[in-house]
């Protein structure tokens, strides 16, 4: 195990002598169970990723990874739980786009996201699809856009929830295609999938896993995926270059957590995500495992923060 951790730390750009100079010998971490506080409900996609990756991390570090679901407040309940814990590398936050959108959606936040949270690693992406009900005339994204232009403000699309990444993807498509759609927010992807399967709405932007039931029943057609990764025709290759609007989740540490321990956690997560059994279990959830370094994650977050902030402000998007 020591060799494995050392290899991971080196991969993150931190040599063992650096750790020693800062008072962290190889055996100092973890000092007991590690807590991953998840901002989403048990049984959901983010929770499924956390539990499967966490189980493998437990094996690597020789300590239990406790997955602790703390929902509410658009992830603020989970965030505050982490901030109330010692910043000793034993407690981390699993969050998603709320890290980027909350500053634009919630007034009087108790902390500054950019100053309070340190990116550790992205864990997974969840590609989304634009799908239409079977009766909708469009068979391609171009035909969908043409239908929306022909009757502005009449084509509906559902996403889970308001101000979530499906909603953001819809706003970006409207901006890029110069169309006007009617947004229908849902509590969850399953609710949106149920309604499009019943023909109650024209279209949805939901994850690949959420669309499976009505797709298998022949009640919907997938027109495009919102990611650059091609599992069906992409929005980007259908006339909107570089369009890449995915749902995702990642691991964060509170500012003050030693960077050496953040590097350790990133390294073991990267090792866990490479495990074939972990990948196999998460394929069914539609998760694309995407480990990266803290620096890579930070750069990606900065680009997303700019894009999503502009969409929220320009589109006057609200939480409810």
pLDDT in tens, 89-114: 999 999 999 999 999 999 999 999 99
Per-residue confidence (pLDDT) for residue 132, from 0 to 100: 98
> Which of the two residues, 12 and 252, has the higher pLDDT score?
252
Query: Is the predicted pLDDT of residue 26 greater than 70, yes or no?
Result: no
Tell me the per-residue pLDDT of 116-161, one tens digit each, with 9 for 90 and over.
Answer: 999 999 999 999 999 999 999 999 999 999 999 999 999 999 999 9
Instruction: Strands of the chain (E only): list them.
Output: 34-38, 65-69, 91-95, 117-126, 128-133, 156-159, 182-185, 203-207, 220-225, 247-254, 288-289
Please state the rounded mean pLDDT for residues 23-45.
83
pLDDT, tens digit, for every residue of 64-89? Answer: 999 999 999 999 999 999 999 999 99
Residue 14 has pLDDT above 50, yes or no: no
53 contact partners, CB below 8 Å, separation of at least 6? 123, 269, 272, 273, 278, 289
Q: In this predicted structure, what is the pLDDT of residue 2?
A: 37
For the stretch 156-193, pLDDT in tens is 999 999 999 999 999 999 999 999 999 999 988 999 99
Does residue 25 register a pLDDT over 80?
no
Contact yes or no for 46/160 (Cβ under 8 A): no
Residue 22 scores a pLDDT above 60: no
More confident position, 94 or 2: 94
How is the chain split into domains, by residue range?
Answer: 2-125+247-315, 128-238
Fold of the 128-238 domain = D-Maltodextrin-Binding Protein; domain 2 (3.40.190)
Looking at residue 18, what is its pLDDT?
35
Query: Cα separations (Å) of 42 from 4, 120, 150, 278?
Result: 30, 22, 42, 18
Classified by CATH at the fold level, domain 2-125+247-315 comes out as D-Maltodextrin-Binding Protein; domain 2 (3.40.190)
- The yes-or-no answer to whether 2-125+247-315 and 128-238 have a common fold is yes
Q: Is the pLDDT of residue 266 over 80?
A: yes
* Whether residue 44 has pLDDT greater than 90: no
Question: Per-residue pLDDT tens for 194-245?
Answer: 999 999 999 999 999 899 999 999 999 999 999 988 778 999 999 999 999 9
225-246 b/e (C-beta count within 10 Å ≥ 16 → b): bbbeeeeeebbbebebeebbbb
Residue 20 has pLDDT above 50, yes or no: no
Q: Which residues pair with 248 in a beta bridge?
A: 125
């Amino acid at each position: 195990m020591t060799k494995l951790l050392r290899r991971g730390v080196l991969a993150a750009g931190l040599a063992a002598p650096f750790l020693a100079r800062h008072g962290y010998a190889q055996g100092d971490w973890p000092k007991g169970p590690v807590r991953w506080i998840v901002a989403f409900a048990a049984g959901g996609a983010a929770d499924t990723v956390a539990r499967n990756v966490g189980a493998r991390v437990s094996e690597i570090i020789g300590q239990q990874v406790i997955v602790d679901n703390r929902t509410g407040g658009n992830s603020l309940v989970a965030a505050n739980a982490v901030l109330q814990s010692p910043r000793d590398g034993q407690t981390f936050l699993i969050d998603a786009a709320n890290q980027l959108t909350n500053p634009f959606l919630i007034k009087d936040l108790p902390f500054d996201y950019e100053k309070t949270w340190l990116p550790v690693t992205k864990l997974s992406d969840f590609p989304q699809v634009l799908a239409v009900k079977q009766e909708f005339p469009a068979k391609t994204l171009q035909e969908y856009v043409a239908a929306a232009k022909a009757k502005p403000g009449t084509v509906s699309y559902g996403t889970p929830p308001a101000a979530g990444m499906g909603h953001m993807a819809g706003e970006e498509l409207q901006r890029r295609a110069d169309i006007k759609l009617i947004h229908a927010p849902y509590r969850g992807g399953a609710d949106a999938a149920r309604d499009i399967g019943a023909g109650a709405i024209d279209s949805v932007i939901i994850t690949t896993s959420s669309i499976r039931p009505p797709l298998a029943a022949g009640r919907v057609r997938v027109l495009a995926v919102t990611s650059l990764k091609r599992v069906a025709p992409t929005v980007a290759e259908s006339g909107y270059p570089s369009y890449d609007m995915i749902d995702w989740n990642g691991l964060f540490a509170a500012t003050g957590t030693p960077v050496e321990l953040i590097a350790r956690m990133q390294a073991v997560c990267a090792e866990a995500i490479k495990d074939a059994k972990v990948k196999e279990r998460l394929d069914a959830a539609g998760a694309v495992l995407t480990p990266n370094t803290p620096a890579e994650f930070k750069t990606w977050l900065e680009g997303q923060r700019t894009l999503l902030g502009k969409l929220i402000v320009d589109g006057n998007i609200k939480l409810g």
